Amino acid sequence: MDFLESENEPNDHYGNLTEFIKRQNAFLVGFARRAKQLGFKPLGPNFSTGYPECYVRGTNYQLWPNAWQGLTDGLRALRDAGGALGLHEYDAPDL
């Protein structure tokens, strides 16, 4: 398989997850389109283990489900271009 991997472990260094997810979603759409044009299968977004965190500290607000919803267009673009979801998980085989 010939995959082209997107950036490694993207994250929001500035604390604005909503804006980060919007930017990441747009990036994945463009990345998937360009990878396919170049003859590659796109692989992304390659989040780090445990990122984004599941909950906002001190609250019951769930970040991860909301983050996935915000990435819908980007994830569909990866799928439609024959690509795959990339995650970094270092606890195998006990994920």
What would the pLDDT profile of 60-77 be if each residue is shown by its tens digit? 556 666 677 888 999 999
Structure tokens at 70: 């915000």
- Complete edge-to-edge strand list for the sheet that includes strand 3-5: 3-5, 41-47, 84-87
Reported confidence tier of residue 1, pLDDT bands at 50, 70, 90:
low
pTM, to two decimals: 0.79
Specify the higher pLDDT residue, 93 or 82.
82
pLDDT at 10 (0 to 100): 79
Q: Given the structure tokens 């909301």, which residue do they identify?
A: 66
pLDDT digit string (tens) for 23-58?
999 999 999 999 999 999 999 988 877 666 655 566
- Rounded-to-10 torsion of CA 37, 72, 52, 81: -20
